[in-house]
A and B are shown apart, each in its own frame.
Chain A
């Protein structure tokens, strides 16, 4: 066999770097949407590689729901300092305080849907014309239809049935004033690819991904962490379990799985043997069959 071929991880990396550079070339003020989760960490790592020896030319934008894992915020701040990039925070609490959105009520209340308004306000307020996300097409069925360069109208909405065709490696980021784009450099990666890449590149990730002892409650078929925001009903009780998180979202909705995987190698092995999708532990996706599509149309990540 010829030596001139790339393995799958190199090819995915090369594609992602190409897209990040294309974003930089085609837009005036792009940002990376940074959640503190592994996917946005990988995108940030790729951006570092894409522009080295220059610094990452994008600010990181974090939509802060106020319902964070403290570990995530610490991780974010350390990363910002080490990369020397600017951080933009959009605060859901502020959106609530200023009456832009109203808090959900009841035991299953989350701030997940409220983020949409905060995100769109932050995009508009900072004159962002392209928000780079860590979304992957294998995550969810609506995301399987997502473009690398995904257009949003001046209300921030996605029109999945009327997307621009994307051919070869030619991306069209042209837009009118007030509209913006979302760009997804790791569209073609799967959860397994992400873990194999984290392992190969030795990328630092928040401790929450590794197995640890934590106070949790069993709800909607996963272990929801105890926090100041958790409301218990009569039948639920707090237990201590050794768990880890497969995805990171709000502390109120991110369910953990029981696990002993405390290294990236062990996590990669565990993920390879998994029989459930990673978003299976996210109660935000369980609300309806098309929960993700509905949120995405409105402007969600």
Chain B
């Protein structure tokens, strides 16, 4: 494997009926990412269950309840590597707590694979998947038109899905959508090019994932550095060292840059950028580094370093899309802990503006109850200003979670509008 290979994270959306587990199994199997002892275990289980041949879908089963009930309960992560890239799959279940799980898997993904059954075309569920992918701003969407073998590999069926999908996706904010006709069961256009669909000129799925341009998926323009912790070594050699440790959220920082520390507003210059014993000239997202400044300024966890000519706006009132993730519904005007980058504050949901019906994508201003899996536009007020950017422009400084203080549970995920 080449040392400059990139890491691509993708999420798969679809239910068991769409052949999602079969697709992942096929991808792992044909890319030779499955080990012999895993294959043997699956062969045994397939036999016990009375399946003919190897049921590739069994590769994605994890927990005891999932194996017993034949369903996926929670997001599972799978890994495979090709000579071109390393891949992380966030395999999100189709049935239970669907929205919660897909939102979780989508939050870090470069790409989403949306499965459509060629026989049924675009259905409500497809729209739901595409909506969540656009809400979470997944940079690339691949619509896999599956089960082409069941429509005799006919181009018309594939074209129909494209037309249907484009009709409603024009209302969504998606940047890059591709379509691939596949048969996960038989392997057509998954890893290997299909012999049955010569009319399709594009690349198979794996090749698409291996070659799509992902370097621009992270914002490299607006330099933002949330401080995680301050490094003050006790040793003689580094007595005066005061390093601000964190991960570059977006943009690029260079030695000598004029920076402003927020919320205090003090300005200084970057003296050094360090990783371990190495000093760097620049750091870009998503690098973890330690930054030292020319001047002694009081900085602590939760503060943000930004370039002086490009800073986030401190805001105490934030409009956001909120996805509710917990069984307990939102309590009106209750206080929650809000976690945004390395910052933590108290927050209150001041107003629910509307709820989105994720099946029709219609806004429902009259329905303002926030329960599990609901997606709403809300107004939030915090005790102190947050240093936010719009989620559309910055997935790191535009996102936050809400934590219920009485249970310590993560109850909501938010995206700043």
A residues at B contact (CB < 8 Å) = 1-2, 4-15, 17-18, 21-22, 24-25, 48-55, 137-138, 141-142, 144-145, 160-161, 163-170, 172, 174-176, 187-188, 190, 192-193, 196, 200, 272, 274-277, 280, 289-290, 293-294
Contact = CB atoms under 8 A, between A and B. Distances in A.
The CB with the most chain A CB atoms within 10 A, among B41, B274, B410, is that of B410
15 contacts: A4-B220, A4-B284, A6-B287, A10-B287, A18-B286, A22-B342, A25-B301, A53-B231, A54-B234, A165-B100, A167-B107, A170-B399, A190-B81, A277-B35, A277-B37
Given A21-B229, A48-B276, A164-B409, A14 B287 contact: yes
Given A6-B286, A190-B79, 16 more contacts: A8-B86, A48-B276, A50-B245, A51-B231, A54-B231, A138-B78, A142-B62, A145-B75, A161-B63, A165-B325, A165-B410, A167-B103, A167-B108, A170-B339, A172-B339, A276-B36
Contacts of B410: 164-167, 172
Interface of B: 1, 3-7, 35-38, 41, 61-65, 67, 73-79, 81, 85-86, 88, 100-101, 103-104, 107-108, 213-216, 220, 228-229, 231-235, 237-238, 241, 243, 245-247, 252, 274-277, 284, 286-288, 290, 301, 325, 337, 339-340, 342, 395-396, 399-401, 403, 408-410, 413
Contacts, number: 186
Given A6-B286, A196-B1, A145 B64 contact: no
A161 B4 CA distance: 37
Contact of A21 (B108, B245, B284): B245
B40 to A, nearest CB: 10
A207 B245 CA distance: 34
A137 B60 CA distance: 13
Contact of A168 (B61, B214, B396): B396
Contacts of A141: 61-63, 76
Chain B: interface secondary structure? mixed
Contact of B246 (A5, A21, A52): A21
Contact of B38 (A193, A277, A289): A277
Contacts of B337: 174
A18 B247 CA distance: 6
Nearest to A188: B88
Nearest to B59: A141
A175 B325 contact: no
A280 B37 CA distance: 7
Contacts of B247: 14, 17-18, 169
